Amino acid sequence: MLLKHTTAKEIERKSLTINPAKTCQPIGAMYAAFGLHGCLPHSHGSQGCCAYHRSTLTRHFKEPIMASTSSFSEGSSVFGGSANLVQAIDTIFTVYNPDIVAVHTTCLSETIGDDLTQIVSKANEDGKIPEGKKVIYCNTPSYVGSHITGYSSQLSAFVKFFSTATPKKKNVVNIIAGWMEPSDMREIKRVAKEMEARIILFPDMTDVLDTGLNGKYVMYPKGGTTQKDMIATGDSKFTIGLGEYCTQDACIKLENKCKVKFEVDDIPIGLKATDRFIMSLSRHANVPVPDSITEERARLIDMIADNQKYFYGKRVALWGDPDTLIPLTEFLISLDMKPVYIVTGTPGKPFDERMAELLKDIPEAKYKSGANADMFQLHQWIKQEGVDLLIGNTYGKYIARDEDTPFIRFGFPIADRAGHNYFPKTCYTGAINLTIQILNALMDHQDRVCPDEKVEFQM
């Protein structure tokens, strides 16, 4: 058993991370690229990086992940990958014919110092980019940040290469989606439609990474934010970014480039974060909140009230990405649960500041962010004083097994369960789904471990 021998005793470590709570930058850039219609992500580096990024996304989404690579050899590793990328652009448009190629770098091409602006200009001058087609790019050195940093950089590239302001502003609100599932994006679009708010959502992975099987292979599925909509984001009257780590940079870029004012909210996970999102959308799209949404909220409240005794005081350990951990922690607190251990491998001050505020009434809570925040230390904390529930990605299954603790898969990657890209966790309906998962995990555990005389028919 991988983590069986983890000890409760912590030894200070400065230069060793064991099972980091993050993954590599280009995975985020690759995922975000699927949110543009007709876009092929391109990995500028060695084949191994691209294979790893594709397989990680394939395992999570259970969908074929198409991406190309500059296929660095020993020569390109020494002399630079300019020739490889120019050749790749030519081959991609000739063979695979996407509308857009979204190039991101890797550790290797960043270390060499390849200049993407210069290389893509050369490809253009050489006539390798056909009329009407686009090559966009972003830098994603994986020795800093995490997959979240890469996702954010790709969104900034969308704004840089597409968003355009004309003199006429439109009564439309941009919603920039932080890292979430296609099911969550579908739910946000459904809620906006219910409110009759006019929005442009980007990126939009619905009908790209949650497509059905109809016997026909389509390399570029019908979903994704269209180029036309992406260009029009410059004419929208406001932008709501969902998740500070993923969307703030794109919001700022859009304001600087096209004078579109913005607000960054949390991803609407749980009651309070959804309340804030709904009110923000209502205010900026200038639409009322319809009764149907208020009724969805009431159903969530009812479910929380009916089952409060199961939530009260339960200690929870969480790991994953800061933009989801922040509203998730807030939601657990509003359920009267105790999020006591929280780690994210993504660095940044906002996580620490928000956690300090959210956890001020739970003195035993510990949290950590950045490269040294790892699953090993999280397990050590759990060894010191156990928890009732684990919430995080598949990497926690070894801890769950070792500690015999209920475990809910949440976040990225989820390689050993299904349904995450079909059932939302955002907005009130998503919060109901999450609440059901929490309840079922706790109740299943109780049924399994309690002595025979304590088994309850009615729980």
51 to 70, contacts with ligand SF4 by CB under 6 A?
Answer: 52
CA 154 to CA 137: how far, in whole Å? 8
- If one asks whether residue 24 binds ligand SF4 (CB under 6 A), the answer comes out as yes
Given the complex with ligand SF4, which of 141 and 268 has the nearer CB atom?
141
Site for ligand SF4 in 138-197 (CB under 6 A): 142
The DSSP secondary-structure symbol of 117 reads H
Q: What residues from 233 to 292 belong to the interface with ligand SF4 (CB under 6 A)?
A: none
> What is the C-alpha to C-alpha distance for residues 85 and 93, in angstroms, rounded to an integer?
12
Order the strands of the 170-177 sheet from edge to edge: 199-202, 170-177, 236-242, 262-265
CB of 259 to ligand SF4, least distance (A): 35
Kind of pairing, strands 389-392 and 366-369?
unpaired
Contact between 310 and ligand SF4 per CB under 6 A: no
Identify which of residues 107 and 390 has a Cβ nearer to ligand SF4 in the complex. Answer: 107
Tokens 């990995």, residue located: 43
Per-residue contact string for residues 86-125; x = within reach of ligand SF4 by CB under 6 A: --------------------xx------------------
Nearest partner of 162 among 225, 102, 233, 97, judged by Cα: 233
Q: Fill in the amino acid letter for 361.
A: D
Q: Parallel, antiparallel, or unpaired: how do β-strands 389-392 and 315-319 relate?
A: parallel
The answer to whether residue 41 forms part of the interface with ligand SF4 (CB under 6 A) is: no
Number of shown-chain residues binding ligand SF4 (CB under 6 A): 7
In angstroms, what is the minimal distance from the CB of 337 to ligand SF4? 35
Rg (CA), the chain: 23
Q: Measured from the CB atom, is 29 or 389 closer to ligand SF4?
A: 29
Q: Which is nearer to ligand SF4, 26 or 347 (CB)?
A: 26
Can residue 26 be called a binding residue for ligand SF4 (CB under 6 A)?
A: yes
Tell me: does residue 333 bind ligand SF4 (CB under 6 A).
Answer: no
CA distance 182 to 421: 6
In the complex, the smallest distance separating the C-beta of residue 404 from ligand SF4, rounded to whole angstroms, is 33
Only one residue has tokens 């969480």, namely: 318
The torsion of the CA quartet 427, 430, 434, 437, rounded to 10 degrees, works out to 170
Contact 388, 404 (CB under 8 A): no
Pick between residue 24 and residue 438 the one whose CB is nearest to ligand SF4: 24
Q: Which is nearer to ligand SF4, 146 or 369 (CB)?
A: 146
Give the residue with the Cβ less far from ligand SF4, 48 or 386: 48
Which string of DSSP letters, residue by residue, matches 293-313? Answer: HHHHHHHHHHHHHHTHHHHTT
Of 23 and 329, the one with the shorter C-beta distance to ligand SF4 is: 23
Interface residue list for ligand SF4 (CB under 6 A): 24, 26, 49, 52, 106-107, 142
